Amino acid sequence: MTGERRVTLCTPSLRTFHPLRRHLLLALVVAGLAGTPFLAHAADDYPSKPVRLIVPYPPGGATDVIGRVIAQKLSLALNQQVVVDNRAGATGNIGAAAVATAAPDGYTLLMGALTSHAINATLFAKTISYDLEKSFTPVGIVGSVPLVFVVNPTVKAQNLTDLIAIAKKSPGSLTFASSGSGSPQHLAGEMFKKMAGIDMLHVPYKGSGPAMTDLVGGQVLSMIETAPAAQGFIASGKLRALAVASKDRVSTLPDVPTAAEAGLKGFEVSSMFGILAPAGTPKAVVDKLTSEMKKALSTQDAKDALLQQGVIANYAAPADAATAIKTEVAKWAKVITDANVKAD
């Protein structure tokens, strides 16, 4: 065509580059073509040094005990020491923040009390430096600790229906204890009040120990406490169990019905625990951790070791763990907003 100008695009040959640049370009091309094998090889070599499992609470608590069981199993599976590192403070936020800002290489992991962290996401939204859903890559859920409704024997309630009837008859007269404002026990109580349409008086304590002491002594009348902390008192007759707050009955309390069986459908509260890695941790490394954790949790001795601490081993893969965390954050955000809960 008259006046047409033909433009030829030329791609330079590698020979036109400076020798050093040519080597760099070749390296990039090779890395791009062989990226997947390189990642697989990196996963094969992982871990080549000890792994830190940060527990964001003091030694001796549920999260610490669970972390030590998992650390022992992973140490054997990975043929490398997994060291528990307690970073307590700020209701778990200090330890969580340390992992969120750690190098995403698989050598720093969080033993997360995921229900508590999900509560913190709303309760401390203005002060925490990380985002539970964005700052971490889930390795998987380890298991859960069910909660149970318990009352002092002086309360004339043989079941959950009786307890609701008593609360409705005398609004505000029935007290319920918790391990502190904003704790899972506290928010479980607020959720119970909302769903049952009742008014109860919250009495916060500095930990479950003092709360249980006063509950047994009759200074407070009821509590929704973790099954491990309550089952000894239930067995001795010092407390009466009305219902467990889990989907299924608890093996250590086989005669206690679920909340749904007791007439409160949809009430499910368990403290969920899991392992998180910093966001951006290579998938191959996460996959290796996930695979070994799943194998470890499938063994009977691991299940028994966790059950001794009241933890029901219930492995969930990374994608399912991410969904569960998102659900927990949304659930507790609603409870906190509806009940106007403030942090201590």
In degrees, rounded to 5, the angle at the alpha carbon of residue 121 between the alpha carbons of residues 120 and 125 is 100
Alpha-carbon distance values, 71 to 19, 52, 82, 110, 301 (Å)? 49, 9, 5, 11, 14
Q: For position 19, what pLDDT does the model report?
A: 47
Per-residue pLDDT of the chain (344 residues; tens, 9 = 90+): 444 444 343 444 444 444 444 444 444 444 444 444 444 455 678 999 999 999 999 888 889 989 999 999 999 999 999 999 999 999 899 999 999 999 999 999 999 999 999 999 999 999 999 999 999 999 999 999 999 999 999 999 999 999 999 999 999 999 999 999 999 999 999 999 999 999 999 999 988 899 999 999 999 999 999 998 898 999 999 999 999 999 999 988 999 999 999 999 999 999 999 999 999 999 999 999 999 999 999 999 999 989 888 899 989 999 999 999 999 999 999 999 999 998 76
The whole-model pTM stands at 0.82
Q: Which amino acid is at 89?
A: G
Within its chain, how far is the Cα of 279 from the centroid?
Answer: 16
Q: Where are the alpha helices (DSSP H) in 46-201?
A: 62-78, 93-100, 114-123, 160-169, 184-196
Q: For position 62, what pLDDT does the model report?
A: 85
